[in-house]
Amino acid sequence: MKEFIRLYLDAYRGLSTPAWMLALVMLINRSGAMVIPFLGVYMINHLSFSLEDTGTVLSCFGIGAVAGSFLGGWLTDKAGHFKVQLFSLIFTVPMFFLLPALNTVLKLALGVFVLSIISETFRPANSVSIAYYSKPDNVIRSFSLNRMAMNLGFSIGPALGGFLAAVSYTFLFYGNAVAAFLSAVLFFIYFRKRRGTEKKEQHKEAVAEAEDGKNLSPYRDLPFMLFSLFCCIFTICFFQLLSTLPLYYREVYKMTEADIGVILAFSGVVVFSLEMLLVHIAEKRMSSMAIIVNGTLMCALSFIILNLASGTWVLYSAMFVLCLAEILAMPFMATVTLKRSSVKTRGAYMGINALSVSAAHVFSPFIGTRIAAAFGFETLWWGTGAVLLLTAMGFYWAMKKMKA
């Protein structure tokens, strides 16, 4: 037991204070993330949209996220990660106040599109910021700490959102706005004059990379683009968590919004509790390729489980396996991207990484809702599992190419 506690505490040692503060900003922001997990249920139950229209609006969020990722990566290299993160947090606030007034498919699709452009510019800037404020040997754990905070917030937000939705869906949007404002204030106060921990080392690295010709655009780095494609496919499957899984709970298991909020909160608690420990163990004992491939296989298993039995315990078992898959795969996707980049191209590379996630916001709800409507949820889960099995093989092949 003592050995386990020591190992658990070791996972947190050595992280810089700015890395902890970035995680706190993320925690506050994600604790108010009540809208997106319930947006599909809101459109069907409150606005009486069809399943197909609901998928279309959710896909508009993804299209905006793709644009936001491009914009965020470009702006980060041009204007710096501090300004991009701050303005992203600030300008999401009025958008959340506006969304409850949009009650047609066209209006809501446009509003969600604009919101996602603004909010997703944050992602590549935040990734660059984590690298900028981290110690070189703690980058992976700094990413994991940030994700841990995000998932703790994700456990708080949907749980609170489920109860607020039972009173009024409007409170979901206002809660998100308040959280975004508070995180913007904290971020500005702490980071406005904060310097990175490795300014001189980064300058030397930039000079060396320029001499070695390493400042290659990610769009010309074909092995990396192939890796990013498989990251996107993985995330399309994983993001059923935010689109079709809540609808599955509602339509098949007749769960209330509060019940859905609890199971989503459970996922956040699992990731919060285990991510730092598992990442700390995995990075010492396995290669990034092995970790990502195994995480992808576990993601496939999580969806297949839904078809093997029935009952609430099955939903929680599948969610637990899905959380383990997320813990293993996603932090290492970001760090593989970071290590592939140079100082001068870091924003562009992390923008591609964010883009692979953002593109999944487009295709995940659009494809998932249509397959569920046409063939049923059982077919959707079998198909998702099969695609993930192929994706695991794709990761193995692509990362062999990157290593070569």
pLDDT at 133 over 50: yes
pLDDT band of 215, cuts 50, 70, 90: low
d(CA 182, CA 235): 29
**Alpha carbon 197 to chain centroid distance?**
26
Cα distance between residue 229 and residue 221, in whole Å: 12
Split at pLDDT 50, 70, 90, the class of 210 is very low
User: What are the helix (H) ranges across 256-404?
Assistant: 257-285, 288-308, 312-340, 346-375, 377-403
Find how far residue 217's CA is from the centre of its chain: 24
* Mean pLDDT value across residues 28-56: 80
Rounded mean pLDDT, 150-156: 75
Q: Looking at residue 375, what is its pLDDT?
A: 93
pLDDT for residue 361 is more than 90: no
pLDDT of amino acid 354: 76
Label residue 293 by pLDDT band (50, 70, 90). very high
HSE-up of residue 388 (Cα within 13 Å, Cβ side): 30
pLDDT at 196: 61
Max mean pLDDT among 110-114, 207-211, 354-358 falls in 110-114
- The domains of the chain, with CATH numbers, are 12-192+218-403 (1.20.1250.20)
Q: What is the pLDDT of residues 41-50, one digit of tens each?
A: 788 888 888 8
Task: Check: CB of residue 262 under 8 Å from CB of residue 165.
Answer: no
Provide mean pLDDT across the span 280-304.
91
CA 72 – CA 65 distance, rounded (Å): 10
Query: What per-residue confidence (pLDDT) applies to 209?
Result: 45
pLDDT at position 60 is 86
- Which distant-in-sequence residues (6+ apart) come within 8 Å of 241 by Cβ? 264, 267, 322
Which of the pair, 282 or 199, is modelled with greater confidence? 282
pLDDT for residue 308 is more than 90: yes
Tell me the two tokens of residue 336: 């593989």
Res 380 pLDDT > 90:
yes
Angle of CA points 237, 74, 293, to nearest 5°: 30
pLDDT at 388: 97
Q: Which two tokens stand for residue 33?
A: 């993330």
Helix (H) or strand (E) holding 223: helix 222-238
Instruction: Label residue 200 by pLDDT band (50, 70, 90).
Output: very low
Expressed in angstroms, the distance from the first to the final Cα of the chain is 42
**pLDDT for res 170:** 82
Q: Given this model, what pLDDT does residue 208 score?
A: 44
* Residue 329 near residue 295 (C-beta atoms within 8 A): yes
Mean pLDDT of the chain: 83
205/213 Cα distance (integer angstroms): 12
Q: What is the pLDDT of residues 117-131, one digit of tens each?
A: 998 888 888 888 887
Tell whether the model's pLDDT for residue 68 goes beyond 90: no
Q: What pLDDT, on a 0 to 100 scale, did the predictor assign at position 181?
A: 93
Q: What is the rounded CA–CA span in Å between residue 74 and residue 63?
A: 17
pLDDT over 50 (residue 391): yes
Q: How confident is the model at residue 203 (pLDDT cuts 50, 70, 90)?
A: very low
- 305-323 burial string, b = 16+ CB within 10 Å, else e? bbbeeeeeeebebbbbbbb
d(CA 190, CA 196): 13
Least confident segment among 19-23, 170-174, 246-250: 170-174
Residue 265 has pLDDT above 90, yes or no: no
pLDDT > 70 in the chain, percent: 91
Kindly give the residue spans of alpha helices, DSSP state H, lying in 32-169. 35-45, 51-79, 81-98, 105-120, 122-133, 139-167
